[in-house]
Amino acid sequence: MNHAVFPRTGDTQTVYLKKVITNPNIQVGEYTIYNDFVNDPVLFEKNNVLYQYPVNHDKLIIGKFCSIACGAKFIFNSANHTLHSLSTYPFPIFFEEWGLERKEVASAWDNKGDIIIGNDVWIGYEAVILAGVSIGDGAIVGTRAVVTKDVPPYTIVGGVPAKPIRRRFDEATVARMLELQWWNWPDERIRKAIPAIQSGNLEILTQC
């Protein structure tokens, strides 16, 4: 297991994301990387995880071996203004002004749940993932896509709002990949399997 913040010598734009996370409501798996050539990638929590206020207790969960491109954003529930009200104005946030109960502040927005990213997911440049979305293992999110709905495993999505473009593999291959879960193998086994993974040879991978 590599415990370095920066996995490549001389590259300060790419970090192992788990090494720079301090927020207990953000969980990141081993070897997931974040690259940022605009801002300091160490500041991922501040610049990329938005509206995740402690009062809401919502979580960002990211699996292992994910690749997150520069500017990708994860927008949480507190960014929403409730649609159950006759007005979108967030009165409960300004409880002091209007004499409301402080404990009701979270009623100012609709709570759609956590953001859950699977393993081996590639999230493209400036993509946006909204609250309540789950993205399956092996999925790809295109550049500047806005993901408002769940993404199945090994599916490529793109656009605003993001829609499926195609599956990466046939159903049998997807099922086998989800069964193998190579990302959970010990490091040494993964190291030996890299040629099979890189060549796209599922038959050899199953023998590793």
Active-site residues, by number, are 81
Are the beta carbons of 150 and 132 closer than 8 angstroms? no
As a whole number of angstroms, the distance between CA 113 and CA 70 comes to 24
> Contact, 141 vs 159, CB < 8 A?
no
CA-nearest of 148, 155, 151, 156 to 129 is: 148
Closest CA to 49 of 78, 6, 88: 78
Strands of 49-50's sheet in order across: 49-50, 73-75, 128-130, 146-147
CB distance 144 to 125 below 8 Å: yes
Neighbours of 176 (CB within 10 A): 15
Q: Cβ(63)–Cβ(27) under 8 Å?
A: no
For residue 74, give the 3-state DSSP assignment.
strand
